[in-house]
Amino acid sequence: MKTIKFPKREDWSEILKRPTQTVDDIESTVIKIFDDVKNDGDKAIAKYTSKFDGVILDDNSVTEIEIENAINAIPENLKSAIQLAKSNIEAFHRAQKTGRVFVETLNGVECWQEKRPIEKVGLYIPGGTAPLFSTVLMLAVPAVIAGCKELILCTPPNKEGKVADAILYTAQLCGVTKIIKVGGIQAIAGLTFGTDSIPQVYKIFGPGNQFVTVAKQLATKYGVAIDMPAGPSELLIVADDSANASYVASDLLSQAEHGTDSQVILVSTSKNLIEAVASEIQTQLIELPRKAIAEKAISNSKFIYVEDDKTALDLINMYGPEHFIICCTNEDVYINGIVNAGSVFIGNYTPESAGDYASGTNHTLPTNGYSKAYSGVNLDSFTKSMTFQKISKNGLQNIGNAIELMAEAEGLYAHKNAVTLRLKDLKS
């Protein structure tokens, strides 16, 4: 990792760039695959599954037998861990439920808001080098709590045409209604247009690589909503001399091992801590099975040495990290001052991996600076807010003249007339 000392504010944008390809580099590929899937359906899905995943499937759908075999293959201690995580995630997301909001804005004018579930949702679960069964929990649990009727899960098959046992076990545990062996751009296209084997959905959820992220953004052009742009993982830690260098290094490496395009950053007011963390990273890196991936990600990452907490906070808010860890004596400065972050982890004993798996918060979060405008997945992500209103005769008399005047001022006389006719009848 490169160490940058006291960077000038005018240089922050360049220093904080993500190691990602531009949309222009990816979009042409995504558009081509979308067009093929739109026109050729499952034939195109099969072609790209063969090309990208190296397998030809007779059937995309996961069978009951495959699910049963997966359930039997999972060790009991892992089942217990998954069930514990599910319980915590359920508890946190159930607490987000809100009831009807009712207001009588004027005598006789009743307005209220209620939430309704999105009926059909697509859950994208990355496979590749790390089959993320934890993401099944993060998406399916709140979808079920929200009341979604159809949960269509897409995940890429391995070279043998199989899906990881842990993904299948977790999916059935959480109430997923259909599991399909398809990944990447073609999965997002299938969920967008619908094919014989893949149901069309109303909203697509889930993280993925840069190609999946662009594919999700393209899906919105065809009337399908998405949770957020969620691409390669990233982590920023702010730490001072009160932090444990070994812990900080382990957290940086935990995100670096996600993928070669991940990015991790340490911001610190302590030169000694930066040096200690750098040494710890090299020590811990040797033991990692995913060392090659982590090393590549580390090469995209930085230590940033700043003069004070205020400077650090300003820089962090400009970056807008997906994951933000605070290990500082003055932690309240950062807790109260952070405005751009997907999820925040506080103190030496709150590793980011707790949020990835089992604390209860959701790990599907905005990356690439999108935390400046997007929230992470939550219960509301799976619902729509609908407004209702009911106006009595007295209520229309109280509000009617204001409506008439405003409609006339906008030149919309049919709008005015819809009120005028009713008011005349009430006077007669």
| Widest CA span in the chain | 88
pLDDT score recorded for residue 128: 67
- Neighbouring-strand partners of residue 324: 236, 344
Which residues make Cβ contacts (< 8 Å) with residue 170, sequence separation at least 6?
Answer: 82, 133, 134, 136, 137, 140
Pick the CATH number of 2-18+232-360 from 3.30.43.10, 3.40.50.1980, 3.90.1200.10, 3.20.20.20: 3.40.50.1980
93 known member of a binding site: no
Domain boundaries defined on the chain: 2-18+232-360, 23-230, 392-427
Residues assigned a catalytic role: 322-323
Please state, as a whole number, how many other Cβ atoms lie within 10 Å of the Cβ of residue 262.
25
pTM: 0.94
CATH number of 392-427: 1.20.5.1300
Mean pLDDT to the nearest integer, 40-55 = 96
Helix (H) or strand (E) run with residue 263 in it: strand 263-268
Phi, psi of 280 (to 5 degrees): -65, -40
255 known member of a binding site: yes
State the Cα–Cα distance between residues 206 and 215, nearest whole angstrom.
Answer: 12
Which residues make Cβ contacts (< 8 Å) with residue 53, sequence separation at least 6?
Answer: 156, 157, 158, 159, 183, 184
The domain 23-230 belongs to what CATH superfamily?
A: Nitrogenase molybdenum iron protein domain (3.40.50.1980)
3-state secondary structure of 30: helix
Please check whether the two domains, 23-230 and 392-427, share a CATH topology.
no
pLDDT score recorded for residue 398: 98
186 known member of a binding site: yes
State the Cα–Cα distance between residues 221 and 111, nearest whole angstrom.
Answer: 32
Mean pLDDT to the nearest integer, 218-238 = 93
The pLDDT tens digits for 385-403 are 999 999 999 999 999 999 9
The better pLDDT of the pair 249, 233 is held by 249
Do the Cβ atoms of 365 and 322 come closer than 8 Å?
yes
Which residues make Cβ contacts (< 8 Å) with residue 319, sequence separation at least 6?
Answer: 16, 236, 265, 340, 369
The pLDDT tens digits for 328-377 are 999 999 999 999 999 999 999 999 999 999 999 999 999 999 999 999 99
- Sheet holding 150-155: strands in order across? 178-181, 150-155, 120-124, 203-205, 225-226
CA 258 to centroid of chain Cα atoms? 15
410 known member of a binding site: yes
